[in-house]
Amino acid sequence: MIPGFNISLEEKALADKLKELRITTGISQKELAEALSVSIQTITSIEGHKRAASLPLLRSYSIYFNLNLSTFFNDTIDSTENSLNYESEIENIKNKLINILPVQIPCYSHRELYNPKFPKLKAIAYALRTGDYYSKRGKDLYMIQVQTNNLYPEVLANDRIVVDPTVEVDTGIGIVYRKNHKRDHFNNEDGAMIIRFEKTQSGQILFANNFTKNHLQTPIKRELKENEYKGMVIQIIRPVLVKGINSTYKDLPIGQA
């Protein structure tokens, strides 16, 4: 046994089950080690109760022997404080999966988003995003299809912006909905507005876009009112223009279309 290292009775029982599985299937330690891409010392140490089997190694066992992972834990692990502690390893695996699994984020038209004329607004598209932030907050995020250059050059028409409504309002680009605020360029309809927020030293929140009034050179800044704030923009996704030739292929053999 490795000096200073002790394994529990449950870990020994698990090792015996792995050894029994190998022997009953007629596989040598060397063959098993090669199949699992580990050293033969790893197999002998586990079967000799000198080390515990790790969760990734148990997964390799389950794949190789075509068994459910839970099979190895039947009658070997109790629910007391002395049971095997795989919680941390399982949590690490979950965190890795979170970073690679895609999350659907609904995309809306900012002309219609929050507009009372569309009480049952449906997404016009969905975007699949990966990464820790998106995977953990995917249900809270939404995306807006930008329809005008009202915040040029930061945001352009046809951009898609990802919005997090749970982020506290601060200086930056965000979304507001102004009730009863008519917009001539959208047939006097309400909807979400993409604007710049400015947080003053006194904590006051002002917002503005690029539109001016009465030929003034600077945009009109307004004070943010209650329930107008709808979130901060956390990402801008800009489509890439690809120029080429559109061709139609006729009479392709079946299976090559």
Task: Report residue 48: phi and psi, to 5°.
Answer: -95, 10
Q: Is 60 exposed, middle or buried (0-12, 13-18, 19+ CB in 10 A)?
A: middle
Regarding whether 110 and 83 lie in a shared domain, the answer is no
In a domain, 243, yes or no: no
Out of 53-67, 143-157, 179-193, pick the least confident. Answer: 179-193
In a domain, 16, yes or no: yes
151 vs 97, residue with greater confidence:
151
Q: Is the pLDDT of residue 13 over 60?
A: yes
Regarding whether 138 and 202 lie in a shared domain, the answer is yes
CA torsion angle 41 47 49 52 (round to 10): 80
**Helices within the chain (DSSP H only):** 9-24, 29-36, 40-47, 55-64, 87-100, 132-137
In a domain, 107, yes or no: yes
Question: CB neighbours (10 Å) of residue 85?
Answer: 11
Regarding whether 210 and 134 lie in a shared domain, the answer is yes
Contact 163, 175 (CB under 8 A): yes
Q: Which residues contact 235 (CB under 8 A, 6 or more apart)?
A: 161, 162
pLDDT tens digits for range 71-118: 777 654 444 444 445 667 777 777 777 777 788 899 998 878 888 888
In a domain, 67, yes or no: yes
Residue after which a domain boundary falls, among 97, 130, 156: 97
What range does the domain containing 226 cover?
A: 103-237
pLDDT tens digits for range 113-148: 888 888 888 888 888 888 888 888 888 899 999 888
Q: Which residues contact 257 (CB under 8 A, 6 or more apart)?
A: 249
Domain CATH number, residue 57: 1.10.260.40
Regarding whether 231 and 122 lie in a shared domain, the answer is yes
Mean pLDDT, the chain, rounded, equals 80
List, edge to edge, every strand of the sheet that includes 103-109: 125-129, 103-109, 142-145, 160-164, 229-237, 172-177, 192-199, 205-208, 222-223
Q: Please give the model's pTM, rounded to 2 decimal places.
A: 0.56
Regarding whether 164 and 87 lie in a shared domain, the answer is no
User: pLDDT at position 216, please?
Assistant: 61
Nearest to 148 by CA among 106, 102, 192: 192
Residue after which a domain boundary falls, among 45, 65, 97: 97
pLDDT tens digits for range 232-246: 999 999 887 777 766
DSSP string of 27-95?
--HHHHHHHHTS-HHHHHHHHTTSSPPPHHHHHHHHHHTT--GGGGGTTT--SSTTS---HHHHHHHHH
Domain count, the chain: 2
Out of 44-53, 88-97, 159-168, 247-256, pick the least confident. Answer: 247-256
Domain CATH number, residue 149: 2.10.109.10
Regarding whether 77 and 139 lie in a shared domain, the answer is no
Regarding whether 67 and 119 lie in a shared domain, the answer is no
In a domain, 249, yes or no: no
Regarding whether 209 and 127 lie in a shared domain, the answer is yes
Regarding whether 207 and 115 lie in a shared domain, the answer is yes
Structure-block tokens of residue 224:
């943010």
pLDDT tens digits for range 182-231: 555 545 567 888 889 999 988 899 888 776 665 666 777 888 888 889 99
User: pLDDT at position 113, please?
Assistant: 87
Regarding whether 145 and 121 lie in a shared domain, the answer is yes
Nearest to 110 by CA among 154, 175, 170, 169: 175
Q: Quote the CA–CA distance of 257 and 254 in Å, as a whole number.
A: 6
Nearest to 192 by CA among 229, 137, 224, 159: 229
